[in-house]
């Protein structure tokens, strides 16, 4: 049976299973044919806060997170185990998974904000109840290690999640406006690096570099480079065919960045994408010794030969002012201008 026949028969099979909802049946079959979208957030809604990765350093992290959500007019529900610690993790796998499941299952919770990233979210992926999540689609916001959840939910059930600030991020007016436009107003926005020229005649900060010119449309997928490369070979990465891939990184030496791009190349991911955006590589300093390639050389070696529209320098990553990107929706990317324009709404 060829691929097209298999997919057709799969669709007929799913249609004949009345006991499951569409999202649940798709999750069981391991195939995703359409997106699941949460509801638009509004003032007065309850937002759940969880720590699915690293432990929090102090109580102030929770206080700041709650103050941010109160600013937008939300009520806040704390995860039961957000103050726990298990080594470097925010509690055991059981505890962190219980908080994640509880927030999705709770009909009174409209959205979920991760207080921080760090490490450990990948440990949960094989135990998540994707069928339950598919029946309760809602906003999930975070970045860095939360990329593991973002990728898995897209791969398993087609849930649109959001790559953007965590609770302890710097919530500048730029970030707050992006939050309102995306999650509360459900706008079709166009993201472009903010103009920080100030009194200078040209902009010296957050400049973009066009790696290959052009305009392209496709499904937006991406997140942290370490997390995506680490999921290669697992069932928790979505299909990257005809997608626009965005990546960011922090505190990794250039030789490790090179190794991870090599992994994406060897896994065949780079050959599948139609467009590419690289954000910031924050604190990515060379190791001592003989030096290393720089980021420009790495992108030149792995991305330019693809001949697809691509640019670097987008305000995506471990920085204060950052894009808030819905993962899974269709976008148009202009590598000449450095813009990402959303062509479909991320919420319902």
Name the one residue in this structure whose structure tokens are 């599948």: 272
Kindly list the distances between the CA atom of residue 252 and the CA atoms of 134, 277, 343, in Å, as whole numbers in the listed order.
34, 18, 33
Q: How far apart are CA 26 and CA 158, in angstroms?
A: 9
Is residue 59 among the annotated active site residues? no
Closest CA to 346 of 178, 152, 145, 125: 178
**Burial grade of 4 (CB within 10 A; 0-12, 13-18, 19 or more):** exposed
Is residue 248 among the annotated active site residues? yes
Closest CA to 348 of 171, 175, 110, 121: 110
Cβ neighbours around 296 below 10 Å, total:
11
Q: How far apart are CA 148 and CA 134, in angstroms?
A: 17
Question: What are phi and psi for residue 145, nearest 5 degrees?
Answer: -65, -20
Cβ neighbours around 75 below 10 Å, total:
15
Diameter of the chain by CA atoms? 65
Q: How far apart are CA 223 and CA 225, in angstroms?
A: 6
Is residue 318 among the annotated active site residues? yes
E strand or H helix at 325: strand 325-327
Q: Give me the catalytic one of 61, 144, 243, 312.
A: 144
Report DSSP state, residue 316. Answer: -
Closest CA to 104 of 161, 64, 148: 161
Q: Give me the catalytic one of 54, 122, 248, 292.
A: 248
Tell me the catalytic residues. 144, 248, 318
């Amino acid at each position: 049976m060829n691929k097209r026949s298999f997919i057709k028969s799969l669709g007929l099979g799913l249609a004949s299973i009345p006991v499951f909802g569409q999202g649940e049946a798709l999750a069981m079959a391991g195939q995703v044919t359409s997106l699941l979208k949460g509801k638009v957030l509004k003032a007065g809604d309850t937002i759940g806060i969880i720590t699915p990765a690293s432990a929090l350093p102090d109580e102030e992290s929770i206080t700041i997170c709650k103050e941010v959500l109160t600013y937008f007019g939300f009520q806040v529900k704390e995860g039961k185990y957000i103050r726990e610690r298990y080594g470097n993790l925010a509690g055991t796998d059981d505890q962190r998974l219980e908080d994640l499941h509880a927030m999705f299952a709770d009909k009174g919770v409209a959205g979920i904000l991760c207080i921080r990233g760090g490490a450990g979210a990948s440990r949960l992926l094989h135990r998540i109840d994707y069928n339950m999540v598919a029946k309760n689609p809602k906003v999930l916001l975070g970045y860095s290690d939360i990329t593991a959840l973002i990728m898995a939910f897209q791969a398993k059930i087609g849930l649109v999640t959001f790559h953007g600030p965590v609770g302890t991020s710097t919530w500048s007016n730029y970030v707050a406006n992006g939050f309102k436009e995306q999650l509360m107003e459900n706008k079709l926005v166009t993201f472009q690096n903010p103009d920080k020229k100030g009194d200078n005649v040209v902009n010296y900060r957050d400049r973009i570099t066009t790696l290959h010119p052009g305009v392209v449309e496709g499904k937006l997928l991406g997140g942290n480079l370490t997390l995506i490369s680490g999921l290669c070979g697992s069932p928790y990465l979505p299909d990257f065919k005809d997608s626009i891939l965005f990546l960011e990184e922090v505190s990794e030496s250039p030789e490790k960045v090179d190794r991870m791009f090599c992994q994406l190349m060897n896994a065949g991911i780079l050959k599948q994408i139609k467009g590419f955006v690289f954000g910031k590589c924050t604190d990515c300093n060379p190791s001592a010794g003989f030096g290393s390639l720089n980021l420009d050389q790495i992108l030149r070696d792995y991305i330019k030969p693809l001949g697809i529209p691509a640019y670097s320098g987008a305000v995506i990553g471990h920085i204060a002012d950052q894009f808030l990107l819905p993962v899974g929706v269709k976008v148009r990317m202009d590598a000449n201008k450095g813009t990402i324009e959303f062509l479909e709404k991320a919420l319902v």
